[in-house]
Amino acid sequence: MNYIGEHLLPGRIGHFFVLLFLVASLVATIAYFTAAKRQDLSEKQGWLRIARIAFAIETISVLSLFATLYYIISHHLFEYKYAFTHSDKSLQVEYLLSCFWEGQEGSFMLWSFWHCVLGWVLVWRSKKWEPGVLTVISFAQFCLATMLVGLYFFNSKVGSNPFVLLRNETAGPIFSQPNYLSFIKDGNGLNTLLQNYWMVIHPPILFLGFASTIVPFSYAFAGLMSKDHSWTKPSLPWACFSAAVLGTGVMMGAAWAYESLSFGGYWAWDPVENASLVPWLTLVAGLHTNLVYKNSGYSLRPTYFFYIISFTLVLYSTFLTRSGILGDTSVHAFTDLEMNTQLVLFVLVFFLPAMFLYIKNYKTIPSIVKEENTYSREFWIFIGSLVLFLAGIVISAKTSVPVYNKIFGTHIAPPEDAEFAYNQIQVFVAVVIGILTAITQYFKYKDTPKAYFRKKIWIPTLAAILISVAVSVFGNVNYVKKGPGFLFAIHLALFAAIYSVVANASYLWLGLKGKIKAAGASVAHIGFGLVLVGILISSSKKTVLSWNTTGITPLRADPKAKGNAAGDPAENITLFKALPTDMGRFMVTYASDTINEKDRKRYFEIDFKAKDGSEEFRLYPDVIKQNKGGEGFSANPAAKHYWYKDIFVYITSFQQNDHEDTTRFKSREAKAGDTLFYSNGLMVLNKIMVNSPELKSKYHDDETALFLDITVISKDGRRYPANPGIALKGQELRMITDTVQAQSLVFAFNRFLDEKTGKVEIGVKESSAITDLITLKVYEFPMINVLWLGVMIMVAGFILSIIQRVNGLSAKLRKAS
């Protein structure tokens, strides 16, 4: 059958480059491996030339795959499954790249791209280590290429090709017609959660972090193959780079969650968050033991292990997030593409050979028999690295519960309070790590005179105690939800974090005499301490501002239900359009809303006015209609940023008067002084007024107007006036209705029943169709900017360390030449 309107050439080009990528990466792996084994220099150079040519072809293939898939997505070629599944015609240009990493195939391509970039830097810089290191990277490229081929071997599918046609992958009667494309008006679109600017920049940085962990692993693997342990020097700046980029990627994800997800924070111990954090913890552990070995000769064996396990954990996180096994426990995970066996093999094919060589060569790896002095820097760095590793193990064990259930057929349920299950352990990790980062740099390698240590450490220790006591006493850190024991742990961790900042800042002057170029470690530790301070204060002092003061809520959900962004209905304030509402120290008004045709989001203008008149500001949280099978709307928060806090707002429900009102008036009889009841309170008919001057705007000069003076009293004691009436002009009668929007009430003055007794008939209608309302959740995050500042300072410290290590290596190479 000849299908009408299909563009087959881009798909064929994509298929060709996938296969070329597969073959070229295999050739590069074999050539580099052979070069690593050759002792003869001319033979080695010959194989290196072949390997570099193959790596160049591999790079061209990956770039061509990117260009081809971007062309398909940007030109809305919905005959291709990838474009149909992940994009639509209304998508903004800046989000077209996000379509790449929404799907597994595109994220594998992104990973491969970064391997190419890192590979060429290593070709340029790694000198004698090029064959061994590039062997591992090229083999990783081969494994990633298999994820994209989408071919069948012995009835088993290998990989998932992003260039397959929709009609070949989806069943449907339209595909039996040659003009099926005429029935496909648009694609499924990009997941609403990914339509955020952070998701344009966060995945590339995170995947660069993931990809870069292979470099220390490759050096370690090459060292085990060659039994040459000098790899630790050139690997050190790479470990710093990887830790900096991966840490930045993880915290960019936290920033995305803070600005795009509506669970009211930046970290929820989501399994995918954990899967990216744990490799960073073990990598930082390896970086520190690498430093120990460089300066003291201790801890080479742990360095091998930490670098091996870090890359392995990256591969394991790939399995967790792509196998579909986390589908019920994470909002971040990919859907299952039935590649579980291949993903498991991807982990094992690197982990098992590396651990085999590690165990085989364990006794030959240099190790100093003498135990470290407890007054030495290397001893406490090793302890800190071990604590980081154990923290990672605990997080991994909890995150892997779905894996245990799958393998062993168990039904282990997640804890009722998942966040606290992690926090109650990790808070003590923060205590230990904070104190160790504070004191360790005051020790010297090998041995430190006790008097010297005490002389240097007492001033920052005293300062940290005084500052932390002041913060604890005057900072109102009173998080009592989990009992006094956990509150004590928070205060202890707060001291440790402040100690880390103060001690490392002091060391810049006391130990390094202000030499910033040599202060990478101290700067990074200051940043880490600030991150801990920001986390502890912003989380423990997070305050709900939106307590429901109206007594009205459309929310009926279980506060503990999974995915319930509203939580406790009492923490969500209901706002009626144009009606100022009391919210603690603010009067808050739902002023207006509008749909942005460009991004298809509905923005709500929320006006905040401080009761003391000190400030006024507007926030614009938004909602966007769910796609990908989701129901309802996805909320995107907005925040008012101060230097010392954030006010964080998101919509939990909204109701608009955009449908026909089918509710009818109910007639009620009353006379002055009578009380009537409605569903949310009562109403009192105070009196009947004739030509009331206060209501002159509602009737004309040539009319006689009668108005009812009614007071509506809701269950929470709030009072609202209502003045329905009638206007007479000769034989013409005009009805004047009145509404109390906050109570969804409409009143009409129907007629007099008895003029002598003053009895009248009132029409009362309770109708949601007259009311535009929203429910809002508002948090205050004190000192959250300390967290983001800490991240930037920590990354700056890593960059200083990288520059210092690279300059040191370059100087040694110049001396050697």
Q: Do 95 and 28 belong together in one domain?
A: yes
Which range marks the domain in which residue 85 is found?
1-195
Q: Which residues partner with 157 through β-bridges?
A: 152
Q: What is the Cα–Cα distance from 743 to 382, expressed in whole angstroms?
A: 65
725 domain residue, yes or no: yes
Last residue of a domain, one of 163, 195, 227: 195
In whole numbers, what is the pLDDT of the chain averaged over residues? 90
Is a pLDDT exceeding 70 seen at residue 128?
A: yes
Q: What is the Cα–Cα distance from 725 to 708, expressed in whole angstroms?
A: 6
Q: Do 646 and 677 belong together in one domain?
A: no
Q: What is the pLDDT of residue 337?
A: 56
Is a pLDDT exceeding 90 seen at residue 717?
A: no
Q: Do 67 and 176 belong together in one domain?
A: yes
Please state the φ and ψ torsions of residue 747, each to the nearest 5 degrees: -115, 145
How does residue 12 score in pLDDT terms, banded at 50, 70 and 90? Answer: very high
* Least confident piece of the model among 489-493, 497-501, 653-657, 673-677: 653-657
**E strands, 90-221, in order:** 151-153, 156-158
Q: Do 152 and 187 belong together in one domain?
A: yes
Which of the two residues, 660 and 557, has the higher pLDDT score? 660
- pLDDT tens-place string over residues 729-742: 888 889 999 988 77
Q: Rg of the chain's alpha carbons, rounded to an integer? A: 33
Q: What is the Cα–Cα distance from 225 to 129, expressed in whole angstroms?
A: 11
Q: Do 601 and 746 belong together in one domain?
A: no
Q: Do 646 and 670 belong together in one domain?
A: no
Burial class (CB in 10 A: 0-12, 13-18, 19+), 158: middle
Last residue of a domain, one of 195, 213, 248: 195
Last residue of a domain, one of 179, 195, 211: 195
Q: Which residues partner with 774 through β-bridges?
A: 575, 654
pTM (2 decimals)? Answer: 0.87
Q: Do 675 and 618 belong together in one domain?
A: no
Q: Do 613 and 739 belong together in one domain?
A: no
Q: What is the pLDDT of residue 264?
A: 61
Q: Report residue 233 as tokens.
A: 């020097």
Q: What is the Cα–Cα distance from 42 to 56, expressed in whole angstroms?
A: 21
How does residue 410 score in pLDDT terms, banded at 50, 70 and 90? Answer: confident
- Residues above pLDDT 70, as percent of the chain: 94
334 domain residue, yes or no: no
Which of the two residues, 664 and 494, has the higher pLDDT score? 494
489 domain residue, yes or no: no
236 domain residue, yes or no: no
Q: Do 672 and 613 belong together in one domain?
A: no
CA-angle at 190, arms to 99 and 244, nearest 5°: 50
Q: Which residue has 């085999």 as its token pair? A: 356
Mean predicted confidence (pLDDT) in 158-187: 91
- What total number of domains does the chain contain? 3
* Least confident piece of the model among 88-92, 212-216, 226-230: 88-92
Q: Do 127 and 31 belong together in one domain?
A: yes
Q: What is the Cα–Cα distance from 512 to 508, expressed in whole angstroms?
A: 5
How does residue 75 score in pLDDT terms, banded at 50, 70 and 90? Answer: very high
Contact by Cβ (8 Å): 103, 82: yes
Q: Do 682 and 752 belong together in one domain?
A: yes
483 domain residue, yes or no: no
Q: Do 122 and 39 belong together in one domain?
A: yes
Q: What is the pLDDT of residue 334?
A: 53
Please state the φ and ψ torsions of residue 135, each to the nearest 5 degrees: -60, -45
Q: What is the DSSP letter of 316?
A: H
Q: What is the Cα–Cα distance from 623 to 609, expressed in whole angstroms?
A: 23
Please state the φ and ψ torsions of residue 482, each to the nearest 5 degrees: -110, 20
Q: What is the pLDDT of residue 766?
A: 87
Q: What is the Cα–Cα distance from 477 to 472, expressed in whole angstroms?
A: 6
758 domain residue, yes or no: yes
Q: What is the pLDDT of residue 558?
A: 53
- Residues above pLDDT 90, as percent of the chain: 64
Residue 539 Cα distances to 95, 472, 479, 780, 783, angstroms: 31, 14, 9, 10, 9
Q: Report residue 111 as tokens.
A: 């990973």
Mean predicted confidence (pLDDT) in 781-798: 94
252 domain residue, yes or no: no
638 domain residue, yes or no: yes
Chain centroid offset of residue 599 CA: 21
Is a pLDDT exceeding 60 seen at residue 7?
A: yes
Q: How many CA atoms lie within 13 A of 496 on its CB side?
A: 22
Q: What is the Cα–Cα distance from 111 to 119, expressed in whole angstroms?
A: 12
Is a pLDDT exceeding 90 seen at residue 223?
A: yes
